[in-house]
Structure 1
Amino acid sequence: MLAIEARNLRRTYTSRTGFLRPRRTTTEAVRGVSFEVARGELFGLLGPNGAGKTTTIKMLNTLLLPTSGTARVLGHDVATDPVAVRRRIGYVFGGDRGLYDRLSALDNLRYFAELYGVEPREQKRRIAELLDLVGLAGRERERVEGYSRGMRQRLHIARGLLHKPDVLFLDEPSIGVDPVAARDLRRTVADLRTGGTTVLLTTHYMAEADELCDRIAVIAGGTIRALGTPDRLKSRVQERDILEIEAYGAADEHLDRIRELPAVRGVAAEDRGSRQAVMVQTERGAELHAQVLAALDGIRIGRVVTREPTLEDAYIAIVEEAEQAEESEVAGIGTGGSAGDDSRGATADRSEEAAV
């Protein structure tokens, strides 16, 4: 039996604007998402903000009803049998919500154990096990208001595991966490998989996904654009070189100039404090240093290096291809494929792990 099975999931939101002449607008947040997660698998769901990741997770954990399509968790339909689904899942989301700051970690876990229906005679042992698992043993009597961001996130994970769920949803658990705490969180998540828990993880940190996930689905524009192992996704850009430039003040027009250069296959910029990292994907062996630097004329440049592609570079390429496809659809010059076709292609034979 599969841990998670999503078939052509769709979620549409309808909003009303205007007073004298009200108008209804429809937004498709998720457009035909399909994938499967095996029991004991650590599955990553990656995508840019607004891509539909959280909406998909909320449909899978019964917080939102699908507009159409079906989803099952351990054989139970999320729409027709939500109580059975909730008994078997845990949900951990990033951020500071979901804990009581004036209570200690121990009191928080006792409270949620009651809500989850954990047997009173099992609570003490279960809470002790989880505090040890997430590395908070010895700190459990301190108020949560004095906890660091990383400690809070580990307590969130402990809360989500109180009732021994078979499937755990982790929605950006390491957001805003310092590197040391993020490393500890990754270790905790890896231990969960070792213990047999099925984990569905969303994250914006590609190194985290590369390290942890057995398979990854990339969602953009509400549809699955690629699905496979981290190595399979990275193979999409293995014939490319990555030119990484430390820049200060690169604007959209500079990036557009780079995109127009021959042999450039993708451009992205990432803010890193006061500086930027501009990643330029080029055809393997193309010597474009001079042209790229000329396109960045007028801004301060730091270090320039050429390196091998990573999962982040594959992710950028997939998302940019999706954006270009959507622009073509809007312009009416698409090639005849549909978003639904993409999602079905991404969930074809598991042995092939077809990337869309």
Structure 2
Amino acid sequence: MTAIEVRDLRRTYTSRSGWPRPRRVVTEAVRGVSFDVGRGELFGLLGPNGAGKTTTIKMLNTLLLPTSGTARVLGHDVAREPVPVRRRIGYVLGGDRGLYERLSALDNLRYFAELYGVDPREQRARIAELLDLVGLRGRERERVEGYSRGMRQRLHIARGLLHRPDVLFLDEPSIGVDPVAARDLRRTVADLRSDGTTVLLTTHYMAEADELCDRIAVIAGGTIRALGTPGELKSRLQERDVIDIEAFGADPTALERLRGLPGVRGVAAEERGAAQSVTVQTDRGADLHGQVLATLDGIRIGRVSTREPTLEDAYIAIVEGDAATSPATAADEVAA
């Protein structure tokens, strides 16, 4: 049975810029997105910054009206029937927003229980149940201002579950959280799925998505680029090897030279302090170590290793591969 149905969903923003002859700028944040999420499924929505993830979620939870297309949550149209949708969903944002820091966790939950219309006779038991679920039992009478980032995120999840939503939207819940707290959050999210809650998760952490999600949609430029299980997405790279290189001072020109090598299918670089992590995808069995290192001649190289592709590699290949054939921007200027 389907919990979320999305058909050709679009959202366009119009703004004005420039002086003295201002121009009207039309930005298509979401360009015809379609997907389904089953009841009890943990569904991931992945994409780079500005891809349309948060805009899509805000339309699904009735915070934004679609420009066109349709979306239904538990059978209710998000534009025409917002109140029934809101009664049956929860929304958890990443970061520090949405809590009252000078109140205790217990007082925060009591306050939001009243806002969500939780029966007063059930509030005490429900709050105790959620404190156990998110691992805050014994710390609930402390002010939130003294909580760590991970504790705040777990309190956010408890707040979003107070009214027993059938569908929970988690928008980057582990952003800025340390590895131990992130592990605890993943365990909490996995428990939600075990209890039958439908979860739509956005995250930039590929290992988190690989561990948790039943299926994943990759969105870029406002459109869905790929949809499938983590295994299905990784299988797109089954004919590739990955070379990981620790480099110091690899500039864009050097990376472009790498991309031009025969047998190289993708190159990505990530800054890690003074070093860079350069990932080179090659044809399976091509053995391009020598050519890759020769291309980086003059650049100080640290560790070099070869491995099997991961979900992160598949994600980069999907996003960058589409970027080569799709418009780079979603903004079109129209003379005012």
Would the TM-score normalized by the shorter structure come out above 0.5? yes
2:113–2:163 contact (8 Å) kept in structure 1: yes
2:269–2:276 contact (8 Å) kept in structure 1: yes
Letter aligned with residue 240 of structure 1: R
Aligned to 2:333: none
Distance in structure 1 (CA, Å) of the matches to 2:297 and 2:3: 52
Instruction: Compute the displacement of 1:296 (Å).
Output: 2.1
Deviations 1:52-75 (CA, angstroms, capped at 9, x unpaired): 000000000001000000000000
Aligned to 1:180: 180
Letter aligned with residue 326 of structure 2: E
1:221–1:322 contact (8 Å) kept in structure 2: no
Is the aligned partner of 1:253 residue 2:253? Answer: yes
Distance in structure 2 (CA, Å) of the matches to 1:272 and 1:3: 40
Aligned to 1:336: none
Instruction: Compute the displacement of 1:6 (Å).
Output: 0.3
Distance in structure 2 (CA, Å) of the matches to 1:271 and 1:57: 29
Letter aligned with residue 210 of structure 2: D
Unaligned runs of 5+ in 1: 331-356
Instruction: Compute the displacement of 1:273 (Å).
Output: 3.2
Identity of aligned residues (%): 83
Deviations 1:125-168 (CA, angstroms, capped at 9, x unpaired): 11000000000000001111111111110000001000000000
Letter aligned with residue 127 of structure 1: I
Aligned to 2:14: 14
1:2–1:39 contact (8 Å) kept in structure 2: yes
Count of aligned residue pairs for this structure pair: 330
Instruction: Compute the displacement of 1:251 (Å).
Output: 2.1
For residues 160-179 of structure 1, the aligned pairs below 5 Å read 160-179=160-179
Unaligned runs of 5+ in 2: 331-336
Superposition CA RMSD, Å: 1.4
Distance in structure 2 (CA, Å) of the matches to 1:238 and 1:17: 46
1:325 counterpart SS class? coil
Distance in structure 1 (CA, Å) of the matches to 2:77 and 2:113: 25
Aligned to 1:268: 268
Distance 1:328 1:129, change over 3 A: closer
Is the aligned partner of 1:295 residue 2:295? Answer: yes
Distance in structure 1 (CA, Å) of the matches to 2:141 and 2:329: 56
1:181 counterpart SS class? helix
Deviations 1:81-110 (CA, angstroms, capped at 9, x unpaired): 001000000000111111111111111111
Instruction: Compute the displacement of 1:328 (Å).
Output: 9.0
For residues 322-337 of structure 1, the aligned pairs below 5 Å read 322-326=322-326
Instruction: Compute the displacement of 1:21 (Å).
Output: 1.6
Distance in structure 2 (CA, Å) of the matches to 1:215 and 1:266: 24
Aligned to 2:52: 52
TM-score with structure 1 length normalisation?
0.91
Deviations 1:187-241 (CA, angstroms, capped at 9, x unpaired): 0000000000000000011110000000000001100010000100000001100
Question: Between Structure 1 and Structure 2, which shows a larger proportion of strand residues?
Answer: 2
Letter aligned with residue 57 of structure 2: I
